[in-house]
Amino acid sequence: MGNSNIYSKIIYTRSPQTELRAWIKKYEPGKVFLATEKKVDEIWMPQFDDFFQSEGIKKVVIPAGENNKKLESVEKIWKFLSQNGADRKSLLINIGGGMLTDLAGFAASTFKRGLDFLNVPTTLLSQVDASVGGKTGINFNGLKNEVGTFKEPVAVIINTDFLKTIDRENFISGYAEMIKHGLIKSPEHLDELKIFDFKNIDYNQLQEIIRHSVEVKKYFVANDFQEGGIRKALNFGHTAGHAFESLAMEQNRPVLHGYAVAYGMITELFLSEIKCGFPLNEQNGLIEWLLNIYGKLEIEKFDFERLFELMTHDKKNESGRINFTLLPKIGEIAINQNCEKELIFDALNFYKNLKPA
């Protein structure tokens, strides 16, 4: 089965096993495999084990956590596929968060030059972000997602029941990517996120909101798969955000990806006002709202140089310039906005001096 679509089939369902069974039937018996991560294996797989065993599907389990998003984990999956006779007509089902779907997607896209894979994301972050858009990857040499491929899964199965077991921090980490989608494309989506009650979650309503969020990402990916132009919209908050994330990791006080993106969005809203005239009153309201949910990462003046250096490593930069995606207003983007070091330091200083509510 080739995958001719530029992006995968995204399936929203209350019954993931029914959908999985339909996909498994498309492949020869013994040619479908499962990759998952330890935490998911412990919490969710007992419900699925009978199902996978009855379908004759073997599984490989990767240790959980971002520090396992590395070549050794990929090798573990390659060996597993090799020992069990996987070939280019096989399917790898990946059940887990963004770390697992990125990693196992990379393993599948490179084994025998690529076999089909299907993602079942189990965290909010991976449902709205990691499983859509065909980016796979691993961390390498201390840098996030340094090695990877562009390869779409054949399908992504989204079911909000998985989110019932994630903690509040991981939930709002994923929420940050949804906020980003609202900011770059859809004021309506942003409005529904502002009023959503994540203290008493309605999972049916959430499934609809996730659909709106994924539609935004799909729009940018479909129009620019290899990230030559407008797909860079999706980087809003990420140039500064990845730097915050790496700094926090270096200083042994790691933050979740979505929190780092929220800090990045605050910093880049400041740049948006200066470079693109983003309305100041809206900027203030958004920053207050983000601070309220995410708090902030305390940074010192002496961290600025390192943060700047981390930004220069960003894969989206060209010829030594640091390019940001900024916003002239909500729902409108300006890509490739080059910001000088002095201005970036101004933004970091602005961020440093904010007082969380």
Q: What is the pLDDT along the chain (357 residues), one digit of tens a residue?
A: 333 344 568 999 989 999 999 999 999 999 999 999 999 999 998 989 899 999 999 999 999 988 899 999 999 999 999 999 999 999 999 999 999 999 999 999 999 999 999 999 999 999 998 767 788 999 988 777 889 998 999 999 999 999 999 999 999 999 999 999 999 999 999 999 999 998 899 999 999 999 999 999 988 888 765 666 778 888 999 999 999 999 999 999 999 999 999 999 999 999 999 999 999 999 999 999 999 999 999 999 999 999 999 999 866 666 668 889 999 999 999 999 999 999 999 999 999 999 986
State how far the Cα of 206 lies from the Cα of 210, in Å rounded to an integer.
6
107's CB contacts (< 8 A; 6+ apart) are 35, 74, 77, 78, 81, 92
Rounded to 10 degrees, the C-alpha dihedral 69/160/119/131 comes to -70
Q: Write b or e for each residue in 149-170: b if 16 or more Cβ atoms lie within 10 A of its Cβ, otherwise e.
A: eebbbbbbbbbbebbeebeeeb
- Looking at domain 9-165, which CATH architecture does it have? 3-Layer(aba) Sandwich (3.40)
Residue ranges of domains in the chain: 9-165, 177-352
Residue 233: its pLDDT value, please?
A: 86
Look-up of token digits 């089902």: 93
Supply the CATH classification number for the domain 177-352.
1.20.1090.10
Two tokens, residue 260: 């780092």
Residue 220: its pLDDT value, please?
A: 86
Consecutive H or E run containing 20: helix 16-24
Residue 142: its pLDDT value, please?
A: 79
207's CB contacts (< 8 A; 6+ apart) are 12, 158, 159, 160
**Stated pTM of the model:** 0.88
Residue 57: its pLDDT value, please?
A: 96
